[in-house]
């Protein structure tokens, strides 16, 4: 597994080695020991989630606060998405900045989105199957959403805005400056 820090160093691109031949391919999608060694701390993933979405579906931007805050390791099993992580750690040198990475069934890239970041994605292909690990369960009362089109974030979702398909909930999310945030000086992995 190859790990690459993005322009926001806590957000990591994970690229498995692909072993392919005329029969197909094989990858190690997750390797706890190598990720722990790279990060210097262990993430205790407790749940795997999967969603299916059609082209233009935009999910996000979401995160959870408190003891339910989540680290996510996300990947695409079918199709292609633009995956986005937004730094929501008040006091961080990269606060309000984001990373956008194309994840696809073809490139097999994954994105590690740590605690303290909002997460979202938009589907670029006709359909996509999106899979992710989390280290805390979903907790409705702890969930926070940020407007996908917050002008201070300036996210390029790669599709025309008229083609977006959003939930009613995501259409009503507030701006980044209106939500409860993480504190950059707190280590959420202790």
pTM: 0.96
Instruction: Answer yes or no: is 35 within a domain.
Output: no
Instruction: Answer yes or no: is 87 within a domain.
Output: yes
Q: What is the DSSP letter of 40?
A: T
End-to-end CA distance of the chain: 25
**Among the listed residues 149, 139, 188, 151, the one whose alpha carbon sits nearest the alpha carbon of residue 171:** 149
What is the number of structural domains in the chain? 1
d(CA 81, CA 129): 9
Instruction: Answer yes or no: is 2 within a domain.
Output: no
Instruction: Answer yes or no: is 38 within a domain.
Output: no
Instruction: Answer yes or no: is 72 within a domain.
Output: yes
Q: Which residues are paired to 133 by β-bridges? A: 48, 73
Instruction: Answer yes or no: is 141 within a domain.
Output: yes
Tens place of pLDDT for every residue, the chain, 190 residues? 999 999 999 999 999 999 999 999 999 999 999 999 999 999 999 999 999 999 999 999 999 999 999 999 999 999 999 999 999 999 999 999 999 999 999 999 999 999 999 999 999 999 999 999 999 999 999 999 999 999 999 999 999 999 999 999 999 999 999 999 999 999 888 7
**What's the CATH number where 63 sits?**
2.60.120.10
d(CA 34, CA 32): 6
Domain membership of residue 159 as a residue range: 44-183
Residues annotated as catalytic (active site), given as ranges: 62, 132
């Amino acid at each position: 597994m190859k790990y690459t820090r993005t322009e926001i160093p806590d957000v990591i691109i994970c690229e498995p080695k692909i072993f392919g031949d005329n029969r197909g391919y094989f990858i190690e999608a997750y390797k706890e020991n190598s990720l722990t060694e790279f990060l210097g701390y262990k993430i205790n993933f407790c749940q795997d989630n999967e969603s299916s979405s059609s082209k233009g579906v935009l999910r996000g931007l979401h995160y959870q606060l408190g003891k339910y805050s989540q680290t996510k390791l996300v990947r695409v099993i079918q199709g292609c998405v633009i995956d986005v992580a937004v730094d929501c750690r008040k006091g961080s040198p990269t606060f309000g900045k984001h990373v956008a990475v194309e994840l696809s069934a073809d490139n097999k890239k994954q994105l590690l989105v740590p605690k303290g970041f909002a997460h979202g994605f938009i589907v670029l292909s006709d359909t996509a199957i999106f899979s992710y690990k989390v280290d805390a369960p979903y907790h409705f009362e702890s969930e926070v959403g940020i407007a996908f089109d917050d002008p201070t974030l300036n996210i390029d979702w790669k599709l025309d805005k008229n083609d977006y398909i959003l939930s009613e909930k995501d259409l009503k999310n507030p701006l980044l400056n209106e939500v409860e945030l993480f504190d950059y000086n707190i280590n959420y992995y202790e």
